[in-house]
Amino acid sequence: MRQMARLLLLLPTTTYRTEDFVDAAGKLGVELVCASERPSTLEDLAPDTLVTLEFRDPDAAATRVAEWTRRRPLDAVVGVDDLTATVAAAVASRLGLRTNPVAAVAAARNKYEMRQCLAAAGVPVPRFRRIALKEDPFTAARGVGFPCVLKPLALSASRGVIRANTIDQFIAAFRRIAAVLRRDDVVATGDAAEFLLAEQFVPGLEVALEGLLIGGTLHTLALFDKPDPLEGPFFEETIYVTPSRLPDTIQRRIVAAAAQACAALGLTEGPVHAELRVNDDGPWVIEVAARSIGGLCSRTLRFGTGMTLEEVILRHALGWPIDSLDRERRPAGVMMIPIPRAGRLRAVHGSDRAAAVEGIEEVAITAHLGQELVPLPEGWQYLGFIFARAETPDAVEKMLREAHAHLTFEIV
């Protein structure tokens, strides 16, 4: 009989999330099996713990894992991002493990399907229209209202998301998104490779809700303010601060809208990352993803007596008890350091001074020297992340800005 639980983590080779999930698995003392879309150099030597899966084909991945588990039963399967969330659901469903319905995760992964589900359930969403990339953009532009936002159906991190105020801007954005979808580093298949979404631009403040679904009930883990205005033409994410400074009544409406959106999609288990806009008409659901927060941002969150978000997610997937889903009371925040322009990173200055700012916990420069940097809307990476904790959310935001001001990046 097995003594140790066995967990399959689906880790794309290029995700930021590997270290935090692998650390969490180590803390929980589970036997860790890692699957990636490309073979590890050690896979032949360690076939019990390293697996290659075709993440673009969830059914094929499920079949492969079902075969693999005949000699090595699994207790949980966890995906760490949008792409692997769908694969994890397919694999876990095949094995009879705790997961969301595959169709619900797939709907959340496709922005058009998501909008349709949410609109049908009466969840406030922007007016939207799916447009085939083979359509004439000039003709397509005449069918939308302005200002609008054009976006790919299935990319993350605001990649390819562009605001258009005029027909000319619409046509330029349309062509730019089509080019993004042809890039070698883009994983877009099926409808996501052939269509884009045009939707009404919703003015207002933006927030992000981090949650955990347990048996269909949404537990809010954190609500983040995004204090930098996101008005376009591109939608670069920078600062996240929690707890939110919005009035309690508005926060409750945001949570209710996110819960309604999860129910509309049919999501019932596991992490949820939702993005909403708030204006005089109330909250508008922009995104609901069946995954946890991206990048290294989860490092802002601690629960109960210091549990990380990844430990919470793994415990939930394993069906283990979770002592507390209450985030620590101290305000916290992160700044995703944006890439200011294209080029090659030659040097980073001021990291020590940035790290020395009061309240700054960590300055993690994740881009490496010599790296080719691609800014939005084509890019999908950051220069790094800055983390802060302080007595108030305002102080957290101030410290993050102060630390960022100390950093300079030589890009040639």
Partner 1 sequence: MSESNDKSTDLKARVQDLIDSMINPAVAGHGGYVELIDVQDNRVYLQMGGGCQGCGAADVTLKAGIERLLKEELPEIAEVLDTTDHAAGNNPYYTPGKM
Least Å distance, CB 157 to partner 1, is 4
Q: How many CA atoms lie within 13 A of 351 on its CB side?
A: 12
Report the alpha-carbon distance of residue 182 to residue 177 in Å, rounded.
9
What is the side-by-side order of every strand in the sheet holding 205-214?
Answer: 282-289, 270-279, 205-214, 217-226, 239-242, 332-337, 384-389, 360-365
Report the alpha-carbon distance of residue 320 to residue 315 in Å, rounded.
5
Place of tokens 């953009």: 137
Closest CB to partner 1 among residues 247, 370: 370
Least Å distance, CB 38 to partner 1, is 8
Closest CB to partner 1 among residues 169, 275: 275
Closest CB to partner 1 among residues 271, 295: 295
Closest CB to partner 1 among residues 118, 348: 348
Residue 101 sits at φ, ψ, to 5 deg, of: -60, 140
Closest CB to partner 1 among residues 63, 366: 366
Closest CB to partner 1 among residues 141, 162: 162
Task: Give the strand pairing for 307-308 and 128-132.
Answer: unpaired
The string of DSSP codes covering 206-250 is EEEEEEEEETTEEEEEEEEEE-S---SSB----EEEES--S-HHH
Least Å distance, CB 357 to partner 1, is 19
The string of DSSP codes covering 144-191 is S-SSEEEEESS--TTTT-EEESSHHHHHHHHHHHHHHHTSTT----TH
Least Å distance, CB 273 to partner 1, is 12
- Give the distance, in angstroms, between the CA of residue 301 and the centroid of all CA atoms in the same chain: 15
Closest CB to partner 1 among residues 84, 251: 84
CA-closest candidate to residue 302, choices 210, 206, 396, 402: 210
Handedness of CA 220, 281, 119, 276 (dihedral sign): negative
Angle, vertex CA 303, rays to CA 317 and CA 252, nearest 5:
90
Closest CB to partner 1 among residues 24, 276: 24
Least Å distance, CB 136 to partner 1, is 31
Least Å distance, CB 190 to partner 1, is 17
Least Å distance, CB 7 to partner 1, is 11
Closest CB to partner 1 among residues 19, 281: 19
Report DSSP state, residue 300: G
Report the alpha-carbon distance of residue 379 to residue 360 in Å, rounded.
27
Closest CB to partner 1 among residues 206, 259: 206
Least Å distance, CB 177 to partner 1, is 17
Q: Which of helix, strand or coil describes residue 270?
A: strand
Least Å distance, CB 184 to partner 1, is 13
Least Å distance, CB 294 to partner 1, is 5
Report the alpha-carbon distance of residue 322 to residue 343 in Å, rounded.
45
- Binding footprint of partner 1 on the chain (CB under 8 A): 11-16, 18-19, 22-23, 25-26, 32-34, 36, 40-46, 48-50, 81-83, 156-157, 187, 294-295, 364-371, 380-382
Q: Which two tokens stand for residue 8?
A: 């399959």
